[in-house]
Amino acid sequence: MKAKSHWLVLWVVLLTGIVTLRAAELPYRDASLPIDQRVEDLLNRMTLDEKIGQMTLIEKNSITPADITRHFIGGLLSGGGGYPTPNTAENWAAMVDGFQARALETRLAIPLIYGADGVHGHNNLYGATIFPHNIGLGATRNPELVRAICAATAEEMMATGVYWNYAPMIAVPQDIRWGRTYEGYSEATAIVSALGSSCVKGMQGDTVQVLATPKHYLGDGATAWGSSAYEDYQIDQGVAMVDEITLREIHLPPYKAALDAGAMSIMITFSGWGETKVSSNQYLITNLLKGELGFQGFTVSDWGAIDQISPDYAEAVVSAINAGIDMNMVPYDAERFIATMQAAVADGRIPLGRIDDAVRRILRVKFMMGLFERPFSQPDLLETVGSAENRALARQAVAQSLVLLRNEAEALPLAKSVPTLFVAGVAADDIGIQSGGWTIEWQGKEGAITPGTTLLEGIEATVSAETTVIYDRLGRFRNARDSAGNLLNAEVGIVVVGERPYAEGRGDAADLSLSEPDRSLIERVRQRVDTLIVIVISGRPLIISEQLPLAEAWVAAWLPGSEGQGVADVLFGDQPFVGRLPYTWPRSMDQLPFDFATLAPDEPLFPFGYGLAGDS
C-alpha cells in the first residue's frame, strides 16, 4: 500500500506539472475561440470554491494579497478615497498590478477585475482630469461631448489597471433634495437615456476597454423623502413608492438604452420597491432585466447592500443570489460571504445552477474585455492622466454646462478690460468645492486637493493686463482704498456661492436655501459694485428667490471640476452660454417634490430647459 501511495503521489505531482506547463494550450486560454466556448471550457474546470471566489468583490484594504490567491477572488475595488500612498498614477498601477499578479497565481489563472467609482473622471486619483459632474453634462445636452469625456476617463483608468468603472449613474432623480442629484444627468428620462448610453459607448469603445456599470437598477431616482432607514439618510437608499407603470415609463428606459449601447455590468440599487429591497427582487433582476430585456452580462450589488436585506446575514445572501445578483460587493468580510455561500449551496438553499449562471456571466465579460490576454495596467497611457488634451476637453464641458439664469442690462458677457473687478466667496478659489463629492475622497474635500484651475485663477488669466482683480473671500474689500484711504468701489463684482462637498445620503437636505453667510456675502458686495454677478456652485438647484433681484446676472455653474477656466471663458464672452436646465428650479422648498404631471410653467422659479443666451 505504501508503494502504491508513493507512486500515486509522484503521478499527481507529475500530472500537476504537465497541466501547469500546458495551461496556455487549454481551450479557454485560446483567444481565437468563440467566447462562449472559452467560458464553458473554463467553467467546467472550476471547483465550487473557485466559482464562489469569482462572485466575491472585496474592498482592497479588507483582504491580504495572499488571500486573493487562496480564495480565488474575482474582483477588487477602491471605494471613494481608496487610493495608494502616495496617490500617483504610477502607484495606482503598481498596486493594481500587484493584486492582479496574486490572482494569476491561482490554479486556473483567472484574472480579477479591479473597479472604482470614476464618476467624473478617474476622480480618486490625484492629478487626474476632473470633469463636471453629470448634472452639468445634462445641461449641455451634448451626447458626443459625454461620449468623449467617458472615453477620456477610460483612458486615464486603463493607465492604472482599473478596467471596471462604477459609472454612469442613470437614475432619473425626481426629488432634488436627494444627495445624489448631481450624479444624475437630468430629471428627464430622454436626456438620461441619451447621455447615459453615450457614456457607455465612450467608456467601452468598439471593444470593451473599461467596463461601464450603469447604476443603480432600478428606481433609485424615485425614492421618497423620509423612507430611508440607513443612518441619518432621508431619501438615499430609501423606498421607491411608485407603481410599475411609473417605474417602467420613467426609470427603466435608460437601462434599455444602456443595454443597447453594450452595457455588460449593471449595479443593483440599495433602495427598495414596495416591501422589498431591489437586491432581493427576483422579478426586477431576473425576470425583467435578464429575461425581458435580455441582459447577458453580470449584476453587482452596491457597497454592502445585500446586508440590508435581512438582519439574518445568511438569509440576506441567499435572497440576493437567488434573486439574480451575480457578484456581491461585500465589501469588508470576504471570508464570511464565502463561508455563507458554501453552506447555502451545501444545504440546497442556493442551487448550483444559479452559481454556474452567475459565474458564466462574469467569465463572459472578463473574456470580452480581454483580461486574460491583457490583465495588467498600460504604462503607455500614463501620459494621458491629467493631460493637456483631456483638460481642454473638461474646459469645453464646463463652458457648455453653464446656465445663464438672469442677465439684466446685458451684464454678461463681461468686458475683459473692466478697470476693477471684485471677486468674493470661498468657492471662488477652492478647487475642492468646485469639484464636489467623489473627488479624491468619497465625500470630497475643501482646499487644493488636486491640480487644476480655480474660478479665480481663470478670471485672472482672462482679464486684460490693465484690470485690477481684488479677491476677498468674505467680500469686505477693506484694502481696496484710494490714495486718501477711502474705500473704493468696483465696476463689477463676482460673488461665488453654493454648496460645500458631499456625497450620497450625507447630502440629503431638507432645506436648499442659500446659507446665511452666502446671503450676507451677496448683500455686502452689492453695496460695493455697480454690476453684480452671482455664480452658484452646487449639485442641484438652490433656493435663491429672495436674493435674485440683488444681482444683474446669475449663473448656475453646477460642479465644474478641475478646469475652472471654462467658467471664465463664458463670463468674458470667449464662449457662448448654451447650457439649459436639466432640472426644474424651485421658487421655494414647499414646492418639493414637484408633481411634474400637474406643474404649471410659471410655478417654478425657472422651468426645466430654461437658459438664456449671453445677450438676453
Q: CA angle at residue 458 from 454 to 462, to 5 degrees?
A: 170
How far CA 612 is from CA of 281, 459, 580, 597, in Å, comes to 44, 21, 8, 25
Q: What is the pLDDT of residue 25?
A: 85
For 72-93, letters b (16+ CB in 10 Å) and e give bbbbbbbbbebbbeebbbebbb
473, 581: one domain: yes
Q: What is the mean pLDDT of each run of 10 residues along the chain (616 residues)?
A: 38 40 78 98 98 98 97 97 97 98 98 98 98 99 98 98 98 98 98 98 95 98 97 97 98 98 98 96 98 98 98 98 98 97 98 98 98 98 98 98 98 98 98 98 98 98 98 96 92 98 98 98 98 98 98 99 98 98 98 96 97 77
344, 410: one domain: no
The packing angle between helices 143-158 and 189-204, to 10°, is 40
Q: What is the pLDDT of residue 23?
A: 55
Q: What is the pLDDT of residue 9?
A: 32
61 within a domain of the structure (yes/no): yes
Alpha helices in 58-167 (DSSP H): 65-70, 89-103, 134-140, 143-158
476, 360: one domain: no
> Out of 504, 508, 518, 569, which one is annotated catalytic?
504
Give the sheet arrangement for strand 276-277, strand by strand. 239-240, 272-273, 276-277
C-alpha cell at 489: 468701489
420, 532: one domain: yes
201, 336: one domain: yes
Q: What is the pLDDT of residue 17?
A: 45
> Out of 156, 236, 302, 552, which one is annotated catalytic?
302
17, 95: one domain: no
Residue 518 designated active-site: no
Name the DSSP letter for residue 592. Answer: P
7, 45: one domain: no
Q: What is the pLDDT of residue 18?
A: 42
Alpha-carbon span 350 to 311, nearest angstrom: 19
615 within a domain of the structure (yes/no): no
Half-sphere exposure of residue 15: CA atoms within 13 angstroms, side-chain side: 6
Q: What is the pLDDT of residue 10?
A: 36
106 within a domain of the structure (yes/no): yes
Burial of residue 26 (CB within 10 Å: 0-12, 13-18, 19+) is middle
477, 552: one domain: yes
165, 294: one domain: yes
C-alpha cell at 251: 426609470
- The answer for residues whose C-beta is within 8 angstroms of residue 199's C-beta and 6 or more apart is 146, 147, 149, 150, 167, 168, 212
Say how many domains are in the chain: 3
Domain span at 410:
402-591
599 within a domain of the structure (yes/no): no
Alpha-carbon span 585 to 603, nearest angstrom: 10
273 within a domain of the structure (yes/no): yes
* 222-280 per-position pLDDT tens digit: 999 999 999 999 999 999 999 999 999 999 999 999 999 999 999 999 999 999 999 99
55, 14: one domain: no
This prediction's pTM: 0.95
Q: Is the dihedral of CA 255, 259, 263, 265 positive or negative?
A: positive
267, 331: one domain: yes
CATH code for position 247: 3.20.20.300
598 within a domain of the structure (yes/no): no
616 within a domain of the structure (yes/no): no
124, 209: one domain: yes
Residue 302 designated active-site: yes
Q: What is the pLDDT of residue 482?
A: 87
How far CA 269 is from CA of 179, 292, 399, 409, in Å, comes to 15, 19, 32, 47
596 within a domain of the structure (yes/no): no
Strand-pair partners of 441: 439
- The answer for residues whose C-beta is within 8 angstroms of residue 31's C-beta and 6 or more apart is 370, 372, 373
Longest dimension (CA), the chain: 109
- Write down which residue in 320, 353, 383 finishes a domain: 383
Q: What is the pLDDT of residue 24?
A: 64
The amino acid at residue 112 is L
CB 434 within 8 A of CB 454: yes
